[in-house]
Structure 1
Amino acid sequence: MAPTTSSTPVLDPASWSGRINIGGWTASHGGAAAVVEPATGAVLERVGIADEADVAAASATGADAQRAWAELPYTERAAVLRRAGDLFAEHAADVQHWLIREAGSIPGKAAFETDVAAQECYEAAALASRPAGQILQSAEPRLSLAKRMPAGVVGVIAPFNAPLILAIRSVAPALALGNAVLLKPDPRTAVCAGVSIMRVFEEAGLPTGVLSLVPGGAQTGAAIVDDPRVRVISFTGSTAAGRKVGEAAARHLKRAHLELGGNSAMLVLPDADLDAAISTAAWGSFFHQGQICMTTGRHLVHERVYDEYVERLAAKADGMTVGDPAAGEVAMGPIIDAGQRDKIHGLVTESVDGGARLAAGGTYEELFYRPTVLAGVGDDSPAYAQEVFGPVAPVRAFSSVDEAIALANDSEYGLSLGILTADVMRGLEIAEKIPTGIVHINDQTVSDEAVAPFGGVAASGTGSRFGGEANIDAFTEIRWITARGAQPGYPF
C-alpha cells in the first residue's frame, strides 16, 4: 500500500508537546522528558510523563467512557477503526519521520511499521462485527447463551524497538471490541508509539476518554498493573520485566498477556540454498540493529557448510552501511541508547574472551554498532546463551539433525524458529520437535502479520495473545446467560 501524504501533519507538536492525554491534552503530574534522537543526540521535542495520580485519573476516565463506547452499534466502532487505518496511511510520512529520528529506524522499517499499523486497524474493524457468542445446549427448558463482553479497561505497555506495531496491535483490537485503553509507551519512543496513535484516533472520531496516553517508565507501568479499574494487561518487553508484571497481575487476579524476550534459532541444513541463506541470515540478525524480540540469535549450521557460511555471513556484515537513517541510505541505524549498546558490547567481549572467534564487527562509534558475526560459540558464550538484543549473529556447527534439534531446544525461550532446507516436509517434521510459538520454514525468524496469531512459549511469554482470533480471547470476557419463558418451580 503506497502511503499518501497530508498537508497538515498529524504530529504537529503544538497540541501535545510536554503533555499527556486524559480526556484531552493536559499537563502531567510526572513532568516532562526530552525526546532524544539516538543518531545525533539532539533533543527533538518533549513528552509528558505520567505518574500514579495520572494513571488513576486515566483509568477513572476510561471506565466512565468505556460503557458508552461499548454500547455503540458495532458499525460505529468499526467505522472509527477503519478511519484510523486510513489516517495512518494518509499521514504515513509524518509518522515515519518520527520512527526514523526517535526510534533509529531505517526508512524501510519505518514504512513497514506504518503499513502494519493501518492493517492492524482494518483487521480490528472486522472484529467488531464478529459473532458476539454462541447458543449453548442446555438440559433445562431455557435459552442458554455464551456472550462475549468487553473486558472493560485494558492497559497496554509497549516497548521501544518496534514501537508503533507493538502498541497498535493491542490498542486497535481492544478498542474495536468495546474496551477503553490506557496506553503506556516507552518514554524513549513516546511520540511514534504513543502520540501518533492518540492523534490518529482523535482525528478518527474516537470518543474522548476511551483512549488515554500515559507515557512513563517502570513506575508508571506498575501503577497501571496495580490499578483496580484496569482488568487486562497487554505487555510487550523483556522476560525479566514480564515476570514482574505477571506476578503483580496475579496478585490482583487480572489477566496479563505477556509477549517477552527470545533467543530464536535458525537451523541451516546441508541441503539449504546457501546463496539465499546468507541474505536470510543477515536480515534475521541485523534488521533494526537486532533490536527485535524475534531476531535470529542462534545460527545452527550443518558442519558441511559451516565454514563457508561463517565466511560469507562475515563478508555480508562487513559490507553493510551503518549510520544516521535520517541523513542518507544505510542498512542499519543506531542502538537506542548507550546502556543498550554497552550491554551488547559486553556480551560480545565476554564471548570472545571465552573463546569465540570474532569473524566480523564487534566495534562501534557512538551508538552505531557494527553488525557482528561470532564463530566457534559454545554453551557458555554469553552472546549465544543470552538474548543480546543487538546486531550479533552467533554461529554454531552441528553434525546431525538430532544434534540440531537438541541445540535448538537448549534454551529457556520459545518465541520463533527458522529452518532452511530443500525438503520442506522434513523442515515441518523437525519443527514439531522444537516447541516455539512461531515457525518459518525457509525463512528467518522475524515476521509479523495482523491476521496471524503471535506469541511465544516458556520464557518468551504466555502464548499467542495477539493477532487474528487471539485478539477476541485477549480482550473480552465470556458471560453465561439463560432465559426462560416462565419461572420454574422449586421444592422450597
Structure 2
Amino acid sequence: MTLLETSIWQGHINLDGWRPGRGGTAASTEPATGETLGTYGVAAAADVAEAASVAQKAQRSWAAQRPEERAAVLRRAGQLWEEHAEEIQSWIVRESGGILPKAELETHIAANECYEASSLPSLPAGDVLSSNEDRWSLARRRPVGVVGVIAPFNFPLILSIRAVAPALALGNAVLLKPDTRTTISGGVALMRVFESAGLPSGLLSLLPGGADIGTAIVEAPEVRVIAFTGSTAAGRHVGETAARNLKRAHLELGGNNAMIVLPGADLAKAASAAAFGSFMHQGQVCMTTGRHIVHEDLYDDFVNAVAEKARNLPVGDPKSGQVALGPIIDEKQLKRIDSIVQESVLGGARLMAGGTSDGPYYRPTVLADVDRTNTAWREEIFGPVAPIAKFTDISDAIELVNDNDYGLAVSILGDVGMAMQIADQVHSGKVHINEQTISDEANAPFGGFKSSGNGSRIGGHKANMESFTELQWLTVRPDIANYPF
C-alpha cells in the first residue's frame, strides 16, 4: 500500500482518525487538465469544535512525553518524506501545477523541516534568573497548547510543514486547514506522514474547508496561536479575529518584492536571476520578484535579455517534464493576472514579451518602462510577470524599493560593498545579495514587514521557540515563606 492510498482518506477528514466530515466532500482538480484527482472530506464548524477539544486533551500527554520521544517522531517523519518523495511529488505536480523540480524542492524542505524540528525538544527551555528573595527564580518555556495552521495553495507542503513540524516538536497539538485547491499535497500528505511516524492520534487534525473553517479555527477557545500564510486581505481578517480573542497570530502575507541591478552587474547572470525570480512556479510565490529596478547603464540590454528568456521558456502541462512553467492555479487568478497586464499597458508600460494565455497557461510576460503609479508596480500580481523600471542614483533605487506597501524580500545584484549599504536602508524582512528573491531554509527566520506580515515568526530555533511556546515564571523556596498576615 502506498502512503497516499486513496482508500484510506477518500472522502474523509482526519479528526482522531479518518472519518466523514460534516461538511460533505469536495473534489481536488488538476489545474492543467481539469481532471478530478480525488475526493476529500470537508469539515464543518462542529468538526472544528470537536477537533479542538480532542487536541487539547491529547496535547497534555504529548507535552509530558520525554523530549527524545517527541524528537523520534519528527525524525521518522523526515525519513518518510524522503522514502515517499516520488509519490508525494507526483501529487504536488498535478494538484498545484508546479514543475517537478519545484515538487522535489518541497519534499526536500519538508524533510529538513522535520529534522530541524527534531532538535527543538532538547533545547534549553528557559533561564535561571537572579532574585532578591531567598528562592530560585526561573523563566521557562511551555507549549502554548493547541496551534491553528492555515496554509495556501502555492507551496502546499512547505507552507504547512514549516509550522506543523515545530509546533508538534515543542509539545503542541495542531489543527491544520490546507487550501481547498491543494488539500491532498498540503494536508493529506502531512496527515499520512505523521500517522506513519507514530504521532499519537488527536494531536494533528486535518480540517479542509473554506473561510468559515479558518474562522472557526481562529475562534476556537482551545486554540491559542494561529500560524497563517496567505493573502494580505485574508491575513488582516485573521489578525483582527485573533486579536479580538486575545490570541497570537503569526502572519506571513503577500509580497511585491524588488530586485536591484547595480551598475557593472553581470548582465547574463542578472537576467537569469530575474527570469527565475519572476517566472518560477508561474510567479505564484509570495517571494516572486515583482519589481525590477535596473541602473540606466544596463537597462535596455537587461530588458531585452529578460524578454528573450521569457519568449523561449516552454509552458505547458508539468507532467510532461518538458516545461519551465505550468498552469495558473485557476481561471479566476488567470483573469486577474491578464487584467493587470492589460491595464498596465494602457497605463504606459511597454509589453516586451508574453501578455497572452492559452487555456490555463499564461505566457511569461515582461513589462518595460513601468512607473511607480502603474498597477503592475503597485500590486502583487501573483503571476509570471516581470515589471521593469530604471534608476540613476542609488538613493533613487532605495526609495523605489521602500515606496511600496509590502516588505518581504529584496534582491541586490552586483557590487557587494554597494549592496551592503543598500541592505541597511531597505525595509524588508529578507535581503539577498547576488541572489534572486525566492529563498527559504528550515533553519532561517522567515517573515515580512509592513503589509507582508508581522515579522519573522517561523524558521530557526529562536523564532520557532518564540512562536509556539510561552514563557512561565516559576519560583521555588526550600520552605513556605513567612508573611505578615
TM-score (norm 2): 0.99
Whole-angstrom CA distance in 1 between matches of 2:57 and 2:475:
28
2:316 to 315, 320, 323: 323
Which residue does 1:5 correspond to in 2?
A: none
Which residue does 1:130 correspond to in 2?
A: 123
Q: Secondary structure at the match of 2:39?
A: strand
Alpha-carbon offset, residue 328 of structure 1: 3.3
Alpha-carbon offset, residue 478 of structure 1: 0.5
The question of 1:236 aligning with 2:236 is answered no
Q: Secondary structure at the match of 1:163?
A: coil
The question of 1:454 aligning with 2:446 is answered yes
Which residue does 1:442 correspond to in 2?
A: 434
Which residue does 2:471 correspond to in 1?
A: 478
Whole-angstrom CA distance in 2 between matches of 1:113 and 1:329:
19
2:11 to 18, 23, 34: 18
Q: Aligned partner of 1:197: which letter? A: L
Which residue does 2:329 correspond to in 1?
A: 336
Alpha-carbon offset, residue 429 of structure 1: 1.1
The question of 1:312 aligning with 2:305 is answered yes
Which residue does 2:107 correspond to in 1?
A: 114
How many residues align? The count is 484
Q: Aligned partner of 2:113: which letter? A: E
Q: Aligned partner of 2:370: which letter? A: V
Which residue does 2:279 correspond to in 1?
A: 286
Whole-angstrom CA distance in 2 between matches of 1:125 and 1:205:
14
Which residue does 1:4 correspond to in 2?
A: none
Does the aligned pair in 1 maintain the 2:99–2:321 contact within 8 Å?
no
The question of 1:224 aligning with 2:217 is answered yes
The question of 1:152 aligning with 2:125 is answered no
Does the aligned pair in 1 maintain the 2:15–2:202 contact within 8 Å?
yes
Does the aligned pair in 1 maintain the 2:71–2:169 contact within 8 Å?
yes
2:54 to 52, 61, 64: 61
Alpha-carbon offset, residue 120 of structure 1: 0.1
Q: Aligned partner of 1:462: which letter? A: N
What is the 5 A alignment of 1:56-95? 56-95=49-88
**Poorly superposed stretches of 4+, deviation over 4 Å:** none
What is the 5 A alignment of 1:165-314? 165-314=158-307
Whole-angstrom CA distance in 1 between matches of 2:475 and 2:133:
10
Alpha-carbon offset, residue 381 of structure 1: 1.3
Does the aligned pair in 1 maintain the 2:98–2:281 contact within 8 Å?
yes
Does the aligned pair in 1 maintain the 2:226–2:249 contact within 8 Å?
yes
Does the aligned pair in 1 maintain the 2:100–2:321 contact within 8 Å?
no
Whole-angstrom CA distance in 2 between matches of 1:141 and 1:307:
73
In structure 2, stretches of 5+ residues that fail to align are none
Alpha-carbon offset, residue 105 of structure 1: 0.9
Deviations 1:168-190 (A, max 9, x none): 00000000000000000001000
Q: Secondary structure at the match of 1:326?
A: helix
Q: Aligned partner of 1:318: which letter? A: R
Q: Aligned partner of 1:458: which letter? A: K
Alpha-carbon offset, residue 383 of structure 1: 1.1
Alpha-carbon offset, residue 327 of structure 1: 2.4
Whole-angstrom CA distance in 2 between matches of 1:71 and 1:474:
20
The question of 1:431 aligning with 2:438 is answered no
Whole-angstrom CA distance in 2 between matches of 1:271 and 1:235:
40
Alpha-carbon offset, residue 141 of structure 1: 0.8
Which residue does 1:359 correspond to in 2?
A: 352
TM-score (norm 1): 0.98
Whole-angstrom CA distance in 1 between matches of 2:378 and 2:329:
22
Whole-angstrom CA distance in 2 between matches of 1:406 and 1:413:
13
Deviations 1:215-272 (A, max 9, x none): 1111110100111110000000000000000000000000000000010000001111
Q: Aligned partner of 1:315: which letter? A: E
Q: Percent identity?
A: 60
Q: Aligned partner of 1:43: which letter? A: T
Does the aligned pair in 1 maintain the 2:268–2:305 contact within 8 Å?
no
Bigger Cα displacement from structure 2, 459-468 vs 325-334? 325-334
Deviations 1:14-59 (A, max 9, x none): 0001100000000001111111000000011111111111111110
Whole-angstrom CA distance in 2 between matches of 1:146 and 1:248:
29
The question of 1:369 aligning with 2:362 is answered yes
Q: Aligned partner of 2:304: which letter? A: E
